[in-house]
Chain A
């Protein structure tokens, strides 16, 4: 069987592209890293690609706001290509800065329908952590929906975050209600027993402990934690305490599900 093709998008300041490419390859995809300048020159590079990943980093130095400049580039140069890509049933994953980009293009939370790029009337955004600092720590995540193709709805996972602007806020209570009711909450920060809580369980003060969002199709996922940083046992922060086992890291759930979904649907 031909491998599922994936593109990891690079741009100035993106810095998690190599490990993200590696995670995709571990999941069985054929991944390549493509610079945004090349994609703007030739949007047809997306043809045949089934998974587009926006990795973590500090695209354009987080100038103006995290993810803003790259989001603006995508909206104005790649709008049609992106909308078509999503409509054709492909998958989009935004991790950390990539999530910030997706939310700033308006693709997420996508309460207005799949694939919409809503710059003018954003429903939610990501802003400074409540403690005002960049924070690297591990968090437990509870899936909040059963229709996002990247996740197993009943499997709680453990992943690291590393960000300064990860707090989700919504425009108003109504917007939050729509996100909840529409099943857009992909992950919530919880403790080891699955209960939401204050800092550090919810490390940035996100409304309703939201850690990740999916659009109305369930084929676009954005999350602040880094699944590509937990693809093997020795990346766990206290793996030396855990029993020996060959099990891969929790982050592989997301990449494996993505590849399996494409294999099952195309």
Chain B
């Protein structure tokens, strides 16, 4: 067959968007020697057609003649005075190439006759005098992902061969019975098992009892199943806590705090909690909603784009794998990064620049979420330099599921079917790797732990799975996430036992060992249990929409996990030992309340500059650049969008969706997170997170009595008692807060060891970070309220008490002050305030409502004003304050919890005041037509006076990239 090579590039005069994006990334790496970049798409086609047909392929299929040229053959560097480097990026042999698959089918559609193979590549011409070292950096950091791609430099070098070596069976035993302590530790390290000595000893004694050695696949299965990522051993451990000198113990931390709140509240609308892939709550008579938030931190640190894309792709499969499978209806995303304007030389070796991480993460979530057709409706961004080497990427998904499909019922005799993507070497050891700390060498050693996503594969699978579910063609479903098949089959068969023939698993390419097949975290795969009599029907359904599905084994009933390869047994594990055999941990924790002095700040007359500085701080600044890249309206259910106001650019408190076309019932989503508070008081940090998440939901019109929470703990190394102590305090607050607000936790996840060891041994640990995600019901979406001011002449109220609580506040942050008192939550008045505001909104008494949080009262007023395009005349004499909060700056910028800013029409004043009876509330001003924010102090002097356009510009400018 002939080898045809096609090169497609833009005609001059048409912007090379991809080339320019590469150029800007190169500059972000600090490389200045590249003057310009031109990108070319390369197609290599092995086929029988002649030149005339090849020209037709070039014109009709591969290029767009309106703005592209397509050349046959291989072109060299362009002539000209500027030195040019030619770099081609090819996929490594065997890596799936979806574009090539599409082109292959399209060629057949065109009538190309026999086509051997199609491969694609990207080619870059870099203009400029670039050094060998710069060229290497560009290839590694910008152009190619070493895990799946290969770079060839120059116009003559040969592209990699498309052929891979087949695998020859070699069953490997790993002798463990006679190892001493050092030997066990060495074995764990050598195989990247991330099992500690105690766990290795537990396994050792198990195999001594069995009187044999484990095979590699058995040990790997145990390592996956017992990884921190999968089993949460730290949070479930027995804890001895020293709390300011007082001893407290927990038999199982999680069960006695977060879980216990859910049990004690015992709400009948919680349908499935902490047991399935996502928590499930009632929506209406016929439907339920499920919600899950996961983190994908370590992969995103190495490969921001791929890590974030597979993060969202992975969490979408959680609702898809909950009960009998939910339909995903919304995504949420919360990210924590280092400062995006950090000087490149401050970034340690082995770490990507925060701006690059942020751009990659946003692009990854954008491309995967948008392609899946799931609106990304809610999120948040936090910046702190301690996230520099350990960025946090929280991805969440909400699904809608019929009430009668909330539970699985797999039985012995059902077939195990793997659906969706093929299995490759990507993502090997993801679960174990993400359970450990990172070092500067991780980007080299663990490139294989990064998964590769293909949203269209997942979308096709989703479409057919939902149909199969409704036709009742399968009995149980779960996702292949961390740990791959080992976790999916291991969990699904935990009670039954399972046998799997590993050579039956469809592979992306030849050469995988049975162990690699078993633990690969290749994406877009689900495992289902199918009755033998339904097999033909379900395979036909998948086939009709080009979705691959393969029987790989069956559930047995013998409580054993049996693994075979080509008929030979390669592993056998007792399900009970696998799931219950892990040793119990005891951990020490300590918390000593710091002596926290109030910083000394001089008095002054005008705080306009302070307000502008807070609005321009990265945490508060507008996130519009991110939000607009997400499709937040697909599926047509959007009611309250992330951006609100007269010009659609104000910051909404929460998102609301109407998921069913025939019902006005809605779902509201929000989050709360205050890592700035945790350094001073992790207990109050967690309470504040709960109060904030609830506040946000209430502000848009969610029903107070129907709010459920998720917890995501991201912490440093909890083997340090001081670090673990902050987690224990937060967990205690989760219990107290959930009980007080009546908000059960329905699911959660933790990610520990978010620390980085620099080349010089310096250690960077993230701040204690608890994300509280909240989901609420809205009885009638037509009653929802947004935060933008609506009409001049309306009255403005503050509900809730302003106290001297500025510890960790943005006022202190922008001035570089530590110390101070962290906002507390009044566990009686806080929930009562939320309940009354929710009722007032439900009764139509409120025109706009905004949560008073980061940046305090002044910031919230500014946001309401510029979002509504209206002004405010406010007077601090109307502000309900605690006795110790008399200074104007504290009143303006305190971040006390449980406070709401509310706009009420003059005709509703009395009804509203009656509703708020006995709560701390006061009128602080009114809405004006003049576009100025003016706030006066007790002496009627303006302490803030600014045009709202100036405030808005300060707020929009920092992240307007």
CB distance from B637 to the nearest CB of A (A): 8
- CA distance in complex: A35, B631 (Å): 23
B635 at the interface (CB under 8 A from A): yes
B546 — which chain A residues lie within 8 A by C-beta?
12, 37
Choose one: A16, A35, A64, A229; the contact of B373 (CB below 8 Å): A16
Give the residue of A68, A128, A238 whose beta carbon is less than 8 angstroms from that of B645. Answer: A238
- In the assembled complex, how far is the CB of residue A30 from the closest CB belonging to chain B, in whole angstroms? 16
5 A–B pairs (Cβ distance < 8 Å), ordered by A = A15-B371, A122-B65, A132-B15, A226-B633, A238-B648
Cα distance, A12 to B455, chains bound together (Å): 10
Cβ–Cβ contact B370 & A238, under 8 A: no
Interface flag for B66 (CB, 8 Å): yes
Beyond A60-B102, A132-B20, A136-B632, 15 additional pairs, beta carbon < 8 A = A13-B371, A61-B99, A72-B106, A72-B109, A76-B110, A120-B59, A125-B66, A127-B66, A133-B628, A136-B633, A235-B639, A240-B644, A240-B786, A240-B790, A241-B646
| Interface: A45 (CB within 8 A) | no
- Nearest CB of chain A from residue B48's CB, rounded to whole Å: 18
| Max count, chain B CB within 10 A of own CB: residue among A64, A124, A162, A169 | A64
A residues 20-71 near B (Cβ < 8 Å) are 22-23, 35, 37-38, 56-58, 60-61, 63-65, 68-69
In the complex formed, the residue of A with least CB distance to B454 is A61
Of the candidate stretches B122-130, B613-621, B777-785, B914-922, the one touching chain A is: B777-785
Q: Which of B459, B628, B633 contacts A12 (CB 8 A)?
A: B459
The one of B61, B366, B456 in contact with A64, judged by C-beta atoms closer than 8 angstroms, is B61
Min C-beta distance of B123 to chain A, whole Å: 16
Give per-residue flags for B33-77: 1 if the beta carbon is below 8 A from chain A beta carbons, else 0.
000000000000000000000000001111011110000000000
**With a CB–CB cut-off of 8 A, which chain B residues contact A170?**
66
Q: Does B111 contact A35, Cβ atoms closer than 8 Å?
A: no
Interface residues of B (CB under 8 A from A): 14-15, 17, 20-21, 59-62, 64-67, 98-99, 102-103, 105-106, 109-111, 366, 370-373, 454-456, 459-460, 463, 544-546, 627-636, 638-641, 643-646, 648, 658, 661, 781-782, 784-786, 788, 790, 848, 868
Which of A127, A130, A233 has the most B CB atoms < 10 Å from its CB? A127
Instruction: Identify which of B544, B635, B782 contacts A35 (C-beta below 8 A).
Output: B544
Complex interface residues of chain A between 61 and 112 (CB less than 8 A to chain B): 61, 63-65, 68-69, 72-73, 76-77, 104
Shortest beta-carbon distance from B799 to chain A in Å? 19
CB neighbours (8 Å) of B545 from chain A are 12, 35, 37
* Contact status A77-B109, CB under 8 Å: yes
- Whether a CB of chain B sits under 8 angstroms from the CB of A248 is no
Residues in A lying within 8 Å of B, measured CB to CB: 10, 12-13, 15-16, 18-19, 22-23, 35, 37-38, 56-58, 60-61, 63-65, 68-69, 72-73, 76-77, 104, 119-125, 127-128, 130, 132-138, 160, 162, 169-171, 226, 228-229, 231, 233-235, 237-238, 240-241
The smallest beta-carbon distance between A190 and chain B, in angstroms, is 16
Bound-complex Cα distance A18 to B635 (A): 7
Find out whether the CB atom of A61 lies under 8 angstroms from the CB atom of B98.
yes
| Residues on the B chain within 8 Å of A138, using CB | 648
CB distance from A113 to the nearest CB of B (A): 19
- Across the two chains, which residue of chain A brings its CB closest to B790? A241
Q: CB-CB < 8 A to B99: which residues of A?
A: 61, 63-64
CB distance from B649 to the nearest CB of A (A): 10
Bound complex: CA A147 to CA B338 (Å): 55
Least CB distance from B24 to A in Å reads 9
With both chains docked as a complex, state the minimum distance between the C-beta of A114 and any C-beta of chain B, in angstroms: 21
Contact call A134/B15, Cβ cutoff below 8 A: no
Please state if A58 and B636 are interface contacts (CB–CB under 8 Å): no
With known contacts A72-B61, A170-B66, A238–B646 Cβ distance under 8 A? yes
Complex-state Cα separation, A240 to B849, whole angstroms: 12
Report Cα–Cα, A68/B14, bound state, in Å.
Answer: 19
Bound form: Cα–Cα A246–B455 in Å: 38
Query: In the complex, what distance in Å separates the CA atom of A22 from the CA atom of B662?
Result: 10
Residues of A within 8 A of B111 (CB): 76
Shortest distance between the CB of A119 and any CB in chain B (Å): 5
Shortest 6 CB-CB distances between A and B: which pairs? A15-B373, A19-B636, A63-B102, A61-B456, A125-B66, A76-B109
Q: Which of A16, A63, A171, A233 touches B65 (beta carbons < 8 Å)?
A: A171
Q: A37-B544, A124-B66, A136-B629 are in contact. Are A73 and B20 (CB under 8 A)?
A: no
Contact A12 B648 (CB under 8 A): no
- Is A234 within 8 A of B109, CB to CB? no
- Cα–Cα, bound, A231→B103 (Å): 37
Whether B629 lies near A237 (C-beta < 8 A) is: no
A127 to B8, CA, bound (A): 14
Q: Are A136 and B66 within 8 A (Cβ)?
A: no
B781's contact among A58, A76, A171, A234, by CB below 8 Å, is which?
A234
Residues of A within 8 A of B786 (CB): 238, 240-241
Measured CA separation A18–B658 after assembly (Å): 14
A127 touches B648 (CB 8 A): no
